[in-house]
Every structure is written in structure tokens, then in C-alpha cells.
Structure 1
Amino acid sequence: MTKAIIFDFDGTIIDTETAWYVAFREAYKKHEVDLSLEMYSGCIGTSLHKFNPYEYLMTDLNLPIDRDEFRKAVQLHHSQLMEVEEMRPGVLEYLQSAKQSGLKIGLASSSPLEWVEKYLKQLGIYDYFDCIRTADDVQNVKPDPELYLQTLKGLGVKADEAIAIEDSPNGAKAAEAAGIPCVLTPNSITKTLEFGNSLHRVESLRDLAFSTVFAGAVAQTK
């Protein structure tokens, strides 16, 4: 019996990922360096330990770039791109349906709490979540399962009683490692990456009826 739904944040609820890639790619172009998606994918849905796009030009290519100015320019460009970004299709409907069905709603994000709360409040959906776990709560972010395990604990449910909503391979690996079935909704950047098995894979949640995923939970409330 499914009792909970757990959302990833970046790229799943709102597509911050594409804006980051565009901002970094264009910043790299100014230094005549091509930032491939394959290279950049190393930091999608996880920490910057595997690939740090802020540092690569300086540490790996030894280019004479001011780190602070580079970081500020990328973040400013990302903020400008995000001004026109909206919640991904179907997310609000899933939140509303989950609340009406009596499901517990969690969020597991590799980003800092301050970042996540900022957008959840801007989007007007902060109060939907019963449990929020971020990079501030764990030692290891995705693809490590710790974020999902902490969220399950906070919600008071078992892994087989929850379903995760993810957009990236690192996120999907984390959910799988925690034993949670996963629905994949890749965005325009992550859809080109390689994923493992999933419960469902759709372009957006609008293409997958809530009742299809949570049939047991919906029936239980009738």
C-alpha cells in the first residue's frame, strides 16, 4: 500500500538544471571552451565533487580567471534565466491529488535548504510538504541513498510504501538504492542521459495520471 510520494527538487519541480547548464556553457564559450553535456552531467542531481563547473577552467585548464567574478557572472545569468521559468507541468496537480488522497508528501534534494525553500515559497507550494530533507541534513547527497532514507524516516513510512519522482540518473540511483520505486520525468537536459529501470518514464507528470501511479492510495480514500 503506497502511503507517500517523495519529490526531488531541482529539475523535477522546477527546471533549474537547464538554466545552470546554459549559464555555464555560455560562460565557458567566452573562454573558447566547449562544455559538453556529458562532462556537465557529472554534477547534475548531486554535489560538485565529481565535476565542479566553477573550478574546472582554473584548476584543470589553468586559465587566468578571477574565481569570484566568474562565479558571480554565472549565478547572475542563471537568475536571469530563472525569471521566466515556471513549475514543471503536472507537479501542482500531483501535489493537490496527493494531499486530497491522504498521502504524505516528502522532498529529498541534494541542494541546500535555503535554495530549496526560496523556490518552494515563490511557487506557493512550501506548505504541501510534510518532510523536507536537503544537503544540510546528510553527509552524502545523491546518488547515495541517505537523503531518501532520511526522508522516509521523517515521513514514518517504509521504502515500499513510497514512490519517488526524479529527473536525473543520480537521483534515480539514490531512490533505487533506498529501495523506492521511481517515476522519471527527465527535463530537456537530463532526457539525453542514460537511466536505469523505473516504474514509469514520461516527459512530464501531466502525461501520467496520478491514479495510474497511486491507484491503491486513491481507492483507499473513496
Structure 2
Amino acid sequence: MTTPDQTAVLKARELLHQARAVIFDFDGLLVDTEYAIYSSWARVFASCGHPLPLDLFNQCLGSGYTHWNPGDHLEQLTNRTFNWETINARRQEEIVRDLEHAGLLPGARELICRLAEAGTPMGVASSSSHRWVDGWLNKLDIMPYFQTVVCRDDGLPVKPDPALFLKAAENLGMPPSQCLVLEDSQNGTTAAFRAGMPVISIPNRVTEQADFSLATSKIRSLTELL
């Protein structure tokens, strides 16, 4: 008898086999950037005597603070205003420091290479900036594998709006229903669902408690697709 986890993996592999194109999220899916970002915010909250629960922080993951902003929330909690330019500059330094030796998450490079060998078109759709995403893709030597990279500074609404995924599908020349999305966040999973795309959700240590009920399949790691 197969377990629910095994059934989900088999379903995910079948989705991958059927896909005519694959669209990847970036943060938390290809590189474990989200824990460093969360930790930087948690330190700011702790300095003000407040915790930052992961279930609360998950509201902003995948949406670029558009739908919930930790800074706004902290100001409401403390009834104070902060110099966010200074704080965010320090946070960015901490994030860069914490991610200095970060690489691709397990299974990512092998999956991308296998898809490329099979001639499957690939794209990235992210609510982060091109500077951030393109910088990482180039640093990790995987940019050439992607036919399109769509980010928030392309002038599109961020996730959970489906616009980023729909634009990526358009750039790949594929109908949305034939593009498989790989996501790690609730907002990203919702965006893919709204775009009419099958979506495999792969939670990480920051997003593991989020709601993935809209996912077509949910697995534990990209390695399970190999």
C-alpha cells in the first residue's frame, strides 16, 4: 500500500512528465534565501521586545511585502516609527553575510539540467527584483537554462496575483494549463492556481506550516522529482 507521501511524489512526477514547460519560483525553492530574510526581520522584532512567529511572517513570503509588511506591523505593535532606510540597509548586509556560501537547494541543479537535456522550456517567476534574482542565477551559473525571468520590476502585480506566472507562460509561448509551476510559498501556490497552472508545492523550513491546499501536489524536496 502506498502512503500519502508516496502518492504525492508519484503524482508530482507525473505532472513533471506531462508538462510542456516548467516555471520555477526563486526564493526558498532554488536557494534557501528565505530563512536568512526571516532571521534578519526576527532580530529587528527581538530588539523591540517582540517575537516574529513564522506563521505570521508567511503572509509576506512570495509577495514582496505588498500584502503584508513586517515593518508596518512592528510600528503598529510598538506605536513607534522607525528609520527603515537605515534598518533595511543593515538587514541587507546581514542577509548577504548569511548567504555568502549559499548554493542551490538539493536536487535543483540536477532537475534543471535534466529538463534542459529533454528540451523542456523553463522560466523563473518571482516577486523579488531582477537585481536579486538575476544576480543569483548568474552567480550560480544557471541563467542560461532559463528562456525567461519575470520579476516584480517588470511592472506586474506580485503573487498571489497570477500576473507573473501568466507573463512567464506567454514569454515561453505556452498555454498556462501546460506550464507546471514549482513553488515553496502559499502566496506563490495561490498565484499559480489562479493562473490555471498545475503547481507542485515544496515547502522549506520557513514555509512548512503554510496552507498548501491549492497545490496540485505537495512534496518535501526537489530531489523527489528526480
The TM-score with structure 1 as length reference comes to 0.88
**CA shift for structure 1 position 64:** 5.4
Match of 1:181 in 2: 198
**SS of match in other structure, 1:192:** coil
**CA shift for structure 1 position 65:** 3.6
**CA shift for structure 1 position 81:** 1.1
**SS of match in other structure, 1:190:** coil
Amino acid at match of 2:216: L
- Kept in 1: contact 2:212–2:218 (CA 8 A): no
Match of 2:108 in 1: 91
**CA shift for structure 1 position 69:** 2.3
Aligned ranges 1:38-53 → 2 under 5 Å: 38-53=55-70
The correspondence for 1:135, drawn from 140, 144, 152, is: 152
Match of 1:30 in 2: 47
Amino acid at match of 1:130: Q
Distance 2:73 2:214 in 1: 32
Q: How many residues align?
A: 209
Match of 2:124 in 1: 107
Is 1:170 the equivalent of 2:187? yes
- Kept in 1: contact 2:156–2:164 (CA 8 A): no
**CA shift for structure 1 position 3:** 1.4
Distance 2:84 2:124 in 1: 32
Cα distance change, pair 160–50 in 1 and its aligned pair in 2 (3 A): closer
Match of 2:175 in 1: 158
- Kept in 1: contact 2:192–2:199 (CA 8 A): yes
Match of 2:9 in 1: none
Distance 1:13 1:89 in 2: 9
Query: What is the percentage of aligned positions where both structures have the same residue?
Result: 32
The TM-score with structure 2 as length reference comes to 0.87
- Kept in 2: contact 1:138–1:146 (CA 8 A): no
Structure 1 runs (4+) greater than 3 angstroms displaced: none
**CA shift for structure 1 position 60:** 5.0
Cα distance change, pair 95–58 in 1 and its aligned pair in 2 (3 A): same
Is 1:70 the equivalent of 2:92? no
Deviations 1:89-146 (A, max 9, x none): 1111111011111110111111111111111111110111001111012431100000
Deviations 1:179-207 (A, max 9, x none): 11111111111011111143332221112
Distance 1:54 1:123 in 2: 31
Deviations 1:39-95 (A, max 9, x none): 211110103133222343335523354322211221111111111322111111111
Amino acid at match of 1:3: R
Distance 1:142 1:68 in 2: 24
Distance 1:50 1:136 in 2: 16
**CA shift for structure 1 position 171:** 0.4
- Kept in 2: contact 1:133–1:147 (CA 8 A): yes
**CA shift for structure 1 position 21:** 0.7
Distance 2:148 2:81 in 1: 44
| Between 174-183 and 42-51, the greater mean CA deviation after superposition | 42-51
Match of 2:75 in 1: 58
- Kept in 2: contact 1:138–1:147 (CA 8 A): no
Compute the RMSD of aligned alpha carbons: 1.6
The correspondence for 2:141, drawn from 86, 108, 124, is: 124
Match of 1:214 in 2: none
